[in-house]
Amino acid sequence: MGYTLVICEKPDAARRVADALSGGKSQPEPVGGTTAFRFVRKGEEFVVCAAQGHLYGVSDPCEERAVYPIFDVEWYPLDQVDEDSAGTEKKVAAMKRLAAGATRFVNACDFDVEGETIGFNLLKYACGGKEREALRAKFSTLTEEDLVKAFDGLERQWSQGLAKAGRARHAIDFLWGVNLSRALSQSPLGGGARYRTISVGRVQGPTLGFLVEREREILGFVPVPYWKVVGSFENKGKRVVASYAEERVITWAAAERAQRECLGGVGVVEWVRKSSTLVNPPVLFNIGDLQKEAYRALRFPPGRTTRVAERLYLDALISYPRTGSQKLSPSIDYRKIVKGIARMPEYATAASEVLKSGARPAEGGKSDSAHPAIHPTGEKPRHALGYAESSLLDLIIRRFLAAFGPPAKKETIEISLAVGEHGFRAAGSRTVSAGWTRHYGRYVASRDVELPRVEEGERFRVEDVNVEEKFEQRPPRYSQSTLLEKMEREGIGTKATRADIIGTVLGRGYASGEWLEVTELGFAVAEAIERYTPSIAGTGLTREIEGRLAAVEEGKETEASLVRETIRTLAEQLAELTANEEGIGRELGSALSAVAPKQTTLGTCPVCKTGELRVIRSRTTKKRFVGCSNYPSRCRASAPLPQRGSIRATTKPCEYCSWPVVYVAGGRHAWKLCVNPACPGRSAS
């Protein structure tokens, strides 16, 4: 009678589904480029397989990759459109073989836009048009209980809005990206620059625009000086450090006068004000909140957080991470989850308190129809976790427990002291009741600032008055976390794609550093977009498309109509680019020449005597080393270099071996180094 074919997104998910449905009795079965799991459940034969990500991608029918404009897109096996996807042909063939023996089909890929798209395409192309009759398994964790429940409640999806919206997004992003990128990359470059791929996308353009806008604010910022006056006061061992009542003294003369007239004086406490506030527990994580908090607490970039969370999900340790929800579904037995956490020694005390309280978790206002907020499953890791996995899991568990905690109570104290006509203010806070902060532990952002107990009228001797010149601070550059927050506020990208878009901006060399500083190339690309395709530089068009994609998902607009409208808009933008190719080429060429990597010459090669030793970075390993310019025909001289710190050549060769000597500067230290690893001077020292 045939079997039920279950298509999962990833191999680990397929294995967990098979184990859950078979009670651990499934049999692995190699099939072409994948592994399937075969078992019988309730008298019915099942085969579970994994797509291993996207096996189909969009591209244009034209074989010449330099052609633009492109307005036709088709879906192809991924190895035909992406040279890094070798092996797709075997995986697709394996899917076709498995589909040939199946009489029922189940899409068990991740229940989101990408998962729906992956499953839809496999059912449509590899399984012979089974996308309409296939059943859907919906689950938010890979625990046995949730998987069994999902397969006991299989349902048919009639609208398939998620898949249609996903396919439309892929087509639109491909059309925008390929046309704009080819137009910019093939502009006749000036300045002697070589060809280089310049990528611009529908969301990437506005994201780069945010960085450039902030960089312009920084470049145009004129720092205005001011002076900060701080006094130190003492009375019988009690010390108070207080700031001048006028936080910014705008002239040196006024600051110096305050210092002169207060030194040696007495500060009298004018008033003491105390107030109490309740600090509510934090809400449950969605993916954006998790990315921001992991950056603050662990310094994980958003992309890394997403990847690590995905691994925790596949290990059945947390729920599906790519969610926008800050709420738990009423069907989730969170007391059972807390009981599981209580069996882990490091969380036992906090989890026991949560169980005794009987409280419900604090939830935010954002919801997601597909998945609940990110939460732990209560299961123990089945294998040792690495640093990243264990750290992120700890953050998620402690946030989950903190969400059940009572409000924390803080007492704020303000003190006003007068030294003659000069006023000073001191502020402190202390925790009266820790509440939820006990559960969140080291991830709590605020810290107490203790002040001694003082009374009105109490007199303090002025120990010192310090005057420090300050300058108004320029606007801060974006970090990956704050840029992601900006994208979220502006409504561009999706919870699943924002981190990847930031990674692309960095990977293309448009910005660099922990605090994202725009490069000359980034400026040139952004300015070309602003001048010739302004709708891409702004957020309006991108937001409009996001809204219309949501309408496709809800069945209010068709995939075809949205793609047609996008093509019309795109054609108008390409006309502007084509008409201005020369100007764009000159601007990009100058920028590329400015950022082209330059080789550092260290001096004449002591081996061949005719070549020059240079600092070279390997294209394959990305490591730097010293090599001769005559390599490989006439000289093979080479030497390793430290991989950290800047390298600068000195004027004198090594006195022991005549090889070049360099300065290596790293951190706070710099030292001299002969680059010859066999230098006699090394053993002599």
What's the 3-state SS for 401-427? HHCCCCCEEEEEEEEEEEECCEEEEEE
Q: Is 244 in a helix, a strand, or coil?
A: strand
Question: What are the residues facing 229 on neighbouring strands?
Answer: 467
Distance in angstroms (rounded) separating the CA atoms of residues 682 and 640: 14
Distance in angstroms (rounded) separating the CA atoms of residues 404 and 282: 9
DSSP for 282-339, written as a single string: PPPB-HHHHHHHHHHHH---HHHHHHHHHHHHHTTSB--S-----S--TT--HHHHHH
Alpha helices in 3-143 (DSSP H): 11-22, 88-100, 113-121
Residue 38, classified by CB atoms within 10 Å of its CB into exposed (0-12), middle (13-18) or buried (19+), is middle
Q: Are strands 135-136 and 102-107 parallel, antiparallel or unpaired?
A: parallel
Q: CA 554, 560, 566 angle in degrees (round to 5)?
A: 100
* Residue 673 main-chain phi, psi, to 5 deg: -145, 125
| Token couple for 291 | 């990315």
What's the 3-state SS for 537-579? HCCHHHHHHHHHHHHHHCCCCCHHHHHHHHHHHHHHHHHHHHH
Give the C-alpha distances (Å, rounded to integers) separating 457 from 313, 417, 424, 670, 671: 61, 9, 14, 55, 59
Q: Is 456 in a helix, a strand, or coil?
A: coil
Distance in angstroms (rounded) separating the CA atoms of residues 622 and 452: 56
Distance in angstroms (rounded) separating the CA atoms of residues 590 and 588: 5
Residue 211, classified by CB atoms within 10 Å of its CB into exposed (0-12), middle (13-18) or buried (19+), is buried
Residue 583 contacts by C-beta under 8 Å, 6 or more apart in sequence?
A: none
Distance in angstroms (rounded) separating the CA atoms of residues 155 and 405: 38
Q: Is 478 a catalytic residue?
A: no
Q: Are strands 511-512 and 517-518 parallel, antiparallel or unpaired?
A: antiparallel
Distance in angstroms (rounded) separating the CA atoms of residues 290 and 321: 9
Choice among 295, 320, 347, 440 that is catalytic:
320
Residues with a catalytic annotation lie at 320
